[in-house]
Amino acid sequence: MSRNNEPLRPVAMTTLLTTDLIGVSRGRSFPSDELDSYTSAGCGWVPANSALTPQDIIAEPNPWGARGDLRLIPDLASRVQVGNGPDASASPLDFIHADICETDGQPWAACPRTLLRNEVQRYASELGLQITAAFEHEFNLHSATAQPERLAFSLQAQRQGADFGGWLLSALRAAGVEPEMFLPEYGKHQYEITCRPTQGVAAADRAVNVREITREIARQLGHGLSFAPKTAEHAVCNGVHLHLSLQDLDGAPVLYDPQSANGLSRLGQRWAAGVLKYLPALCAFTAPTPISYARLQPHHWSASYACLGQRNREASLRICPTVSIGGKPVAPQYNLEFRALDATASPHLAMAAVLIAGRLGIEQGLTLRAITDEVPDELSAEHRQDRGIVALPASLPQALDCLRNCPELLQALPAPLLDTYFAVKHQEVKLTEHLTPAQLCEHYAHLY
């Protein structure tokens, strides 16, 4: 029975959020004014949720079945709060990234955020290194009423997306995401949003924040939005580019050496050689859906071979340009861009996997050979073989096979996480193998 007849007001909610193995953010919400009662022991969660395919079907068999209980433990420093945007009546966005724990507080072996945190800590404790990273996102945007196709990179395309972009930058600023640029891209109705780099786990959290806030602004404006790697058969692809640099524990950059031909330090060369050595297997995490392979093609400015290039947008790992105008120092700008990545990947899992590969490269003292500033597809097969430039997998099943045959990566990852991941991806392949290329584009355009 109601105690008075005061008009009701909606209760503001906070969500404890986990971004799962397939890059989908899920969680549970409660009244924001009760946050105190959730800070230490979090809220409940279910192991088999991690076995969901993008098609929203729990993969069978999976390691969890109907058994078990977990907790989502909030990392309070990661809270995102965005006040009302274009839809003044929308309930404000308020979520906190969480780690998945057992009910006794032990870390859960299949939590991607915990995996990334462990790897970041390992860099610090074993290599004396810190990681700075930023994820750039491309996406397609369609307003509710059909709009003409504008020219690539044009002011007209910018103006068409300017209302959306303005709200987006405002919301990202409010969330502490430090947005940099909103820009029209090469494709029709394609835009890109970039933000400043940050350290460690917060960089992957920030990628989630960018995706979810971008979706929220699109929802409030009634726009259609997709981050999927390819949204139509002849569409320009949407990539995610992961910029990474390493610093020592005092914050001094360690990837740059002015004496080296391309500026990459000895340590950086080993790190890059590790990423390239394991790249075919890494694709299982960074290009993790069947549609990802429509993007990883030559002449797409994405990645089709495992090679490093200086300012070469056909290279899977790119040495980014540095600017010397005005005497700007190079070392703090110097970074590597991992391009074999798209938004169907979990930012935490993908970043952890790339870091593991780079660490293995350092530990094994690998020599970097796979370098080219040509389109790798246009080199002769002998030249590629000579340099150790190998083709990336042509499909998700091929990438999963590369991972299955990579003992070093398998050993570096928790078995329950791998078992769940293989179960999900196996089921996803089965659920989509009957789709034509055009249907596959449409299918994933709706899911991501």
**Whose Cβ is closer to Mg ion: residue 20's or residue 192's?**
192
In whole angstroms, how close is the CB of 431 to ligand GLU at the nearest point?
Answer: 24
* Residue 428 contact among ligand GLU, Mg ion, none, beta carbon within 5 to 8 Å by kind: none
**Whose Cβ is closer to ligand GLU: residue 304's or residue 420's?**
304
Quote the tokens at residue 327.
């005497």
**Whose Cβ is closer to ligand GLU: residue 82's or residue 350's?**
350
Q: Are 110 and 416 in contact (CB under 8 A)?
A: yes
In whole angstroms, how close is the CB of 255 to ligand GLU at the nearest point?
Answer: 20
Burial class (CB in 10 A: 0-12, 13-18, 19+), 54: buried
In whole angstroms, how close is the CB of 318 to ligand GLU at the nearest point?
Answer: 9
Q: Are 393 and 281 in contact (CB under 8 A)?
A: no
Distance of CA 194 to the CA centre of its chain: 13
As a whole number of angstroms, the distance between CA 92 and CA 94 comes to 6
Helix count and strand count (H, E) for the chain: 12, 17
In whole angstroms, how close is the CB of 138 to Mg ion at the nearest point?
Answer: 5
* Residue 94 contact among Mg ion, ligand GLU, none, beta carbon within 5 to 8 Å by kind: none
In whole angstroms, how close is the CB of 48 to ligand GLU at the nearest point?
Answer: 33
In whole angstroms, how close is the CB of 128 to ligand GLU at the nearest point?
Answer: 33
Cis peptide before 61 (omega within 30 of 0): yes
In whole angstroms, how close is the CB of 236 to ligand GLU at the nearest point?
Answer: 6
Q: How many residues bind Mg ion (CB under 5 A)?
A: 1
Strand partners, 27: 17
Q: Which residue's CB comes closest to Mg ion?
A: 192
Q: What share of the chain is helix, strand, coil (3-state, %, to 5)?
A: 40, 20, 40
Quote the tokens at residue 173.
């600023």
Alpha helices in 21-123 (DSSP H): 112-122
As a whole number of angstroms, the distance between CA 257 and CA 393 comes to 32
Any idea what the Cα angle at residue 249 is, between residues 353 and 193, rounded to 5°? Answer: 50
Contacts with Mg ion, 417-436, as mask; x by CB under 5 A: --------------------
**Whose Cβ is closer to Mg ion: residue 25's or residue 310's?**
310
* Residue 295 contact among ligand GLU, Mg ion, none, beta carbon within 5 to 8 Å by kind: ligand GLU
**Whose Cβ is closer to ligand GLU: residue 50's or residue 190's?**
190
Contact set for Mg ion, span 183-242 (CB under 5 A): 192
Q: Which residues bind ligand GLU (CB under 6 A)?
A: 138, 236-237, 239, 295, 300-302, 313, 339
**Whose Cβ is closer to ligand GLU: residue 30's or residue 301's?**
301
Q: Are 213 and 175 in contact (CB under 8 A)?
A: yes
**Whose Cβ is closer to ligand GLU: residue 236's or residue 417's?**
236
As a whole number of angstroms, the distance between CA 123 and CA 135 comes to 20
Catalog residues that contact Mg ion under the rule CB under 5 A.
192
